[in-house]
Amino acid sequence: MNHPTMKRITSYHIIYISALLSILSACSKDDNPGNNQSQYMLVAESASSNSMFNVKFYAKDSLFVGYNKVFFMLYEKSSGSQVTQAEINFRPIMDMVTFKHACPVENPSGTADANGYFEGAVMFSMPGYDGSWSLSADVVANGKTDSIYFPLARVIPTNPVKKIVVIDSLSNGSGGWIISKYPVSLVEPDKWNVGNNNFEITVNKMASMMSFPTINDMTIAITPEMPSMGHGSPNNVNPIPVSDGHYSGTVNFTMTGAWRVHLDFTRDGRAIGKNAYFDISF
C-alpha cells in the first residue's frame, strides 16, 4: 500500500479520472438541456390546445415503423404540478394529402408510473417525414379535458423491418374476395442472444383506415431458419396470447448471424396469409 510507485500511479490516475468525469458530466448536461436524468428520449414538448396542460412526449429511441413504446409526462399549466392520474387516448394520423390514416395504439393506463410517466405504445405503419405523421391525444385529468398535438419530424424505416402486414384473402362465394389486413409488430427484446430469446409480437386487424382492433384468437407457429447455412433450431416455443393483442413465445438462436423467423398464422381453423417472417441479425 505504501509503495512509492503505487502512490504515484494512484495520484496520476485520480487526476486523469476526475478530468474525464468533468468532461463526461459536461457532455451529458449539453445533450439534455433542462431535462436531467430522464431515462427516455424527449421527442417533443408542448402545451395542450386550451393551455390546461404541459405535455412532454418521450420515446425509448427515434420513432420508427413498428412497435414504439411512448411516454407522456403531464403538468397542470396553471400550477406547474405534475399530473399522475389521467385518461389519455392517442390519435396518430398520417396525412398522405389525398387521404389520412391512423395506426394501432395502446393507450396508457390511468396512472403514471413511479417516475411520473404514462406509458403506451404507437405502432407506426409506414415511414414519415416533415410532419406527415402526427400524434394527437385527448387528455382528461383533474376534471379538465384538453387535447395535445405533436407533429412528428420523422418516423424512420428500419432494416430489417420490425412490422409486417399479413394479408388474408377469403372467397366470398360469388367470385369475389374479402381481403383482411393484419399488421404484426415485433416487440423487440432490447438485445438478441445466442440461446433462448423472448419473442413477442402484437397482432391487430385493419378494420378501416382509422380503426385497428386487437386480435387475440390467432394461433401462431414460429420456425427459425438460418438461410445462409440451411438449418433451423430446436426447442422453440410458439407465441401464445399474454395480454391484449400481445403474443409471447421463445425463439432459440443456436448461433449469431442472420436469422429468419417464419410465422404461420391460423384463425378460425384457416391459414391466414403466406410467407410471413421477421429477419433478425445479431
Q: Are strands 195-203 and 270-281 parallel, antiparallel or unpaired?
A: unpaired
Cβ atoms of residues 92 and 128 within 8 Å: no
Site string for Cu ion, 86-105 (x = CB under 5 A): --------x-x---------
Asked if residue 276 binds Cu ion (CB under 5 A), the reply is no
- What minimum distance in Å lies between the beta carbon of 101 and Cu ion? 6
* Residue nearer to Cu ion on the CB measure, 117 or 124: 124
* Residue nearer to Cu ion on the CB measure, 26 or 96: 96
Task: Report how far residue 73's alpha carbon sits from residue 71's, in angstroms, rounded to the nearest whole number.
Answer: 7
- What minimum distance in Å lies between the beta carbon of 127 and Cu ion? 9
Site string for Cu ion, 119-148 (x = CB under 5 A): -------x----------------------
Please tell me the count of residues contacting Cu ion according to CB under 5 A: 3
* Residue nearer to Cu ion on the CB measure, 125 or 202: 125
* Residue nearer to Cu ion on the CB measure, 65 or 263: 65
- What minimum distance in Å lies between the beta carbon of 162 and Cu ion? 17
* Residue nearer to Cu ion on the CB measure, 79 or 99: 99
- What minimum distance in Å lies between the beta carbon of 218 and Cu ion? 25
Residues forming the site for Cu ion (CB under 5 A): 94, 96, 126
